[in-house]
Amino acid sequence: MSATSRPGAQGTLITVAPTGAEHRKEDVPNLPVTLGELVKTAQDCERVGASMIHIHIRDDDARPTLDLARLRETVAAVREHTRLVVQLSTGGAVTDSEEDRLAVLDALPDSASCTMGTVNFGTDVFLNRWEFIVELHTRMQDRGIVPEYEIFDLGQLTSLHRLLDRHGPPAGGRVHVDLVMGVPGGMAGDLETFAAALRLIPEGATFSATGVGRASIPVLLASLSAGGHVRVGMEDTTTYAKGERVKDNAQLVARASGLARIAQRPPIGPEESRVLLGVAS
Ligand code: KMH
Ligand code: ZN
């Protein structure tokens, strides 16, 4: 199947990843970290074309947390105030335990990330053992949570084939991949690597891509032209242009929406995204 004939290639699913676990509020004062800031961000981003939100939450001191009560409250609040597909991160921060990362699924989001392998992450290690990946995948099958398989390096796509062969299709029956490119320690955010990744994405799967930092624009354009979807947000980039800080997440979503329209692949809404991902309405 050619990339442009992949399901959903007509319109673009834009995911916003507004917060992440890495940036410190002291360094990035406009990072949304409270529930109020997150809900407002979600509404602003939905208005300009986002249809899914990838969520990491923070505690009262703006530090990353996987506190289950907070996660549940967050899922409920974003559902109440937007139509966005709600995706929780099971990646958390590099310091989070496997147990806490698995427990994220108890908050019953529409979707959750599932990283397909271990990767160096700057000076840290983002650990994703095979048994842990299988546990995430099967718990999501049991609970009807649709995974987004996050790919930080090419070999992780090989692992995805193995996972699907051995443990069956995900909840919802559709396979959706997100290429996270340009992490120091992961795959590069360039066209050659993007092309290599495309060849390894499972037949019939949909994919999105995000470039970290300066890989942001090249990866966004590559994905649009390859029939893919896009993820943008302050989790991945806090610089809008050389010497210019990102104003807010909606600024990044608005730019992605504009480029998607130019590419004749306008943003799709949350309902269409649910169908594309296999998320129940
Ligand atoms: N914060 C990174 C260690 C995910 O959300 O699933 C992992 C991450 C991936 O952001
Ligand atoms: Zn994340």
Distance 197 CA to ligand 1 centre (A): 19
Band of pLDDT at residue 8, cut at 50, 70 and 90: very low
CA of 49 to the centre of ligand 1 (A): 23
b/e code 223-244 from CB counts within 10 Å (16+ = b):
bbebbbbbbbbbbbbbeeeeee
Phi, psi (5° rounding) for residue 173?
A: 80, -5
pLDDT score at 6: 54
Q: For ligand 1, pick from 126, 136, 183 the residue to mutate: most ligand atoms within 8 Å of CB.
A: 126
Rounded to 10 degrees, the C-alpha dihedral 8/203/183/106 comes to: 70
Q: Is the pLDDT of residue 30 over 50?
A: yes
Closest residue to atom 6 of ligand 1, CA basis:
91
Ligand 1: residue whose CA is nearest its atom 1? 93
Ligand 2: distance of its center to the CA of 195 in Å?
23
206 lines ligand 1 (CB under 6 A): no
* Measured distance CA(30)–CA(229) in Å, rounded: 26
pLDDT at residue 2 in the model: 44
Among 115, 121, 117, residue whose Cα is nearest residue 130: 117
Mean pLDDT of 90-112: 98
The 10s digit of each residue's pLDDT in 56-69 is 999 999 999 999 99
And the tokens for 248? 């807010």
pLDDT value, residue 1: 42
Q: Does residue 113 have its Cβ closer than 6 Å to ligand 1? A: yes
Ligand nearest to the CA of 96: 1
Nearest Cα neighbor of 101 from 76, 74, 156, 64 is 64
Q: Is the pLDDT of residue 4 over 60?
A: no
Query: Is residue 90 within 6 Å of ligand 1 at its C-beta?
Result: yes
Model pTM above 0.75: yes
What's residue 79's pLDDT? Answer: 98
Mean pLDDT score, 258-262: 98
Joined tokens for residue 66: 């996987």
Give pLDDT, residue 3. Answer: 45
Residue to probe by mutation, ligand 1, list 22, 23, 101, 115, most atoms within 8 Å of CB: 115
Residue-averaged pLDDT of the chain: 96
Give the residue whose CA is nearest to atom 8 of ligand 1: 91
**87 — pLDDT class (breaks 50, 70, 90):** very high
Residues 6 or more apart from 36 whose CB is under 8 A from it? none
pLDDT class of 9 with cuts at 50, 70, 90: low
What is the pLDDT confidence band of residue 5, given thresholds at 50, 70 and 90?
Answer: very low
Domains of the chain listed by start with CATH number = 10-277 (3.20.20.70)
